[in-house]
Amino acid sequence: MQHYMLTIHQPQGETPSPEVLEPIMRDLEAVNEELRAAGAWVFAGGMHQPSTYTVLRPKDDEVITTDGPYAEGKEFIGGFTVIKAPDLDAALEWGRKFARAITLPVEVRPMQYGSCG
């Protein structure tokens, strides 16, 4: 089994209204349920807006703390899910379900190593 991280790419700005968000969250939960039932779910998390990020930068013997995010962009990683899948096609199939549920782009990244599972 290979681990893949599915990242959700979210535009910066206002959170959509509850009427928009509610059905999306319902669809997302259904995909998560399906993942767990299939034994493919490993770990998942959602992110706050980049305005809340802090960057730590090593410099000489110190580590400098600054206001984040590290990279400015119109989109940021709004959340991620780590899954187990036998190959890329299987991982892409889960990715498609996420993209449809969340209505945002999803990037599927194979993980080089990991300690889960």
9 within 8 A of 78, measured Cβ to Cβ:
yes
Residue whose CB is less far from other proteins, 1 or 21: 1
Phi and psi torsions of 70, nearest 5°: -65, -45
DSSP 60: T
Residue whose CB is less far from other proteins, 28 or 83: 83
* Interface residue list for other proteins (CB under 8 A): 2, 86-89, 92, 108, 110, 112
Cβ 70 to other proteins, closest distance in Å? 24
Cβ 94 to other proteins, closest distance in Å? 14
Residue whose CB is less far from other proteins, 17 or 112: 112
81 within 8 A of 98, measured Cβ to Cβ:
yes
Cβ 109 to other proteins, closest distance in Å? 8
Question: Within 13 Å and on the Cβ side, how many CA atoms surround 113?
Answer: 1
In the block, tokens 């305005």 appear at 51
